[in-house]
Amino acid sequence: MVAAGPAATETELIACARTRYEGRTVLITGASDGIGVQIARLVASAGGQVVMPVRNREKGERVRAGILEEIPDARITLRDLDLASLTSTHALAEALVADGAPIHGLVLNAGVVLFGDRTRHVTGDGFEMHLQTNFLGHFALVADLLPLLIASGTRIVAQVSLAAVQGRIRFDDLQSERRYSALRAYRTSKIALGLFGVELQRRGARDAHDGRGVTVNLCHPGIAPATAIAPPIRAMLPRGVVDAATRHLGNPPEQAALTAVAALTAERPVAAAPSGETTAAEAGVVSADGATADGAPADRASPVAAMPDLYAPSRWFGAAGPPRRRAPFRTMTDPDAAAQLWNAAAALIAPR
């Protein structure tokens, strides 16, 4: 039986993904850059119908053409989306709801990181750039789509970051107005995205009925030198240590994308082991023959847990390697903070 554990190859993960997503729709934000391109390629390889919301159509068309060159029968649809604009976010959601087609997987992957720029950038909606692009835009999109997602039984995957292993949400300064640094703003946005996933999973479990409802997993790609994920890590550690890590231990985008695919594929989130780390195979990832890792049919997988799982690289403290299931970072596991953040975000994006 093929299972998507830490030693799983890309081929094995695609086989697992095919069981769940062949002929089904997966929407991936940020799929025209870096890791997002590779997530889209992997889902397309598994026979999934990929929806790519993009800010730059020309760039999106180039990525689509590249995937089609490798996978001629790939089904990829472009949509317009600028997460730094609530108008754009609402417009995409309205179009998807009007279409009425189910969305079986949703990867909240898009993000911005502005390291090296000491200027606090504000979007046209008046929000700090990291907060809106990485978190609030995704929050608004999911909120608008939630009835459709519940009806579709959507698996939602939120792409967080190793930068979120430290820090905390400051509810009295969510937009980093008092003492701005790009690292702090980025970290806040990624912790917020993780807390959003925790609250969304709780609500999904509460609202599930007739076998339908959203389930949520988190993932992070480790240290991926070819993307914007490395700068936050570089900002936290001695330069020599991180330079060596990115040269010798960093995850290339092709491997960094596997954590998102593992998070998409896991049949249902289950409670993490007390140690905080369990292999993805042990977590009940669906195998190529449609069974979970323990051999049970997929429809008898473990009940939905109150807490999402985090799929992260398995080596060098999460910097690199194949995906492994573990507990979410402690910075994003407080259910009270998750509920408070949900309410704060809803108030921020409410019509004025």
| pLDDT of 299 | 32
pLDDT of residue 293 exceeding 80, the answer is: no
Q: Is 328 within a domain?
A: yes
Tokens 């730094």: give the residue: 84
Give the model's confidence band at 20: pLDDT under 50 very low, under 70 low, under 90 confident, else very high.
confident
Look up the domain containing 236 and give its range: 10-345
Which of residues 277 and 186 earns the better pLDDT score? 186
For residue 82, give the CATH number of its domain.
Answer: 3.40.50.720
25-54: pLDDT as tens digits: 999 999 999 899 999 999 999 999 999 999
3-state secondary structure of 348: helix
Q: Is 181 within a domain?
A: yes
| pLDDT of 67 | 98
Question: Considering the entire predicted model, what is its pTM?
Answer: 0.83
**Count of structural domains, the chain:** 1
| pLDDT of 251 | 72
pLDDT of residue 281 exceeding 70, the answer is: no
The one-letter code for the residue type at 153 is G
Q: Is 351 within a domain?
A: no
> Do residues 264 and 24 lie in contact, with contact meaning Cβ atoms separated by under 8 Å?
no
Is 21 a residue of the active site? no
Give the model's confidence band at 271: pLDDT under 50 very low, under 70 low, under 90 confident, else very high.
very low
Q: Is 3 within a domain?
A: no
Distances 164 to 168, 185, 350 between C-alpha atoms, Å? 8, 11, 27
Give the model's confidence band at 292: pLDDT under 50 very low, under 70 low, under 90 confident, else very high.
very low
DSSP code at position 301: P
Question: Token digits for 60?
Answer: 């999106």
Mean pLDDT score across all residues of the chain: 82
Rounded mean pLDDT, 125-138: 98
Give the model's confidence band at 114: pLDDT under 50 very low, under 70 low, under 90 confident, else very high.
confident
> Do residues 183 and 352 lie in contact, with contact meaning Cβ atoms separated by under 8 Å?
no
Q: Is 338 within a domain?
A: yes
Which of residues 167 and 62 earns the better pLDDT score? 62
The catalytic position among 21, 180, 186, 311 is 186
| pLDDT of 301 | 34
Q: Is 5 within a domain?
A: no
- Give the integer Cα–Cα distance in Å for 148 and 138: 15
Q: Is 4 within a domain?
A: no
Q: Which of 128, 181, 167 is nearest to 329 (CA)?
A: 167
Q: Is 208 within a domain?
A: yes
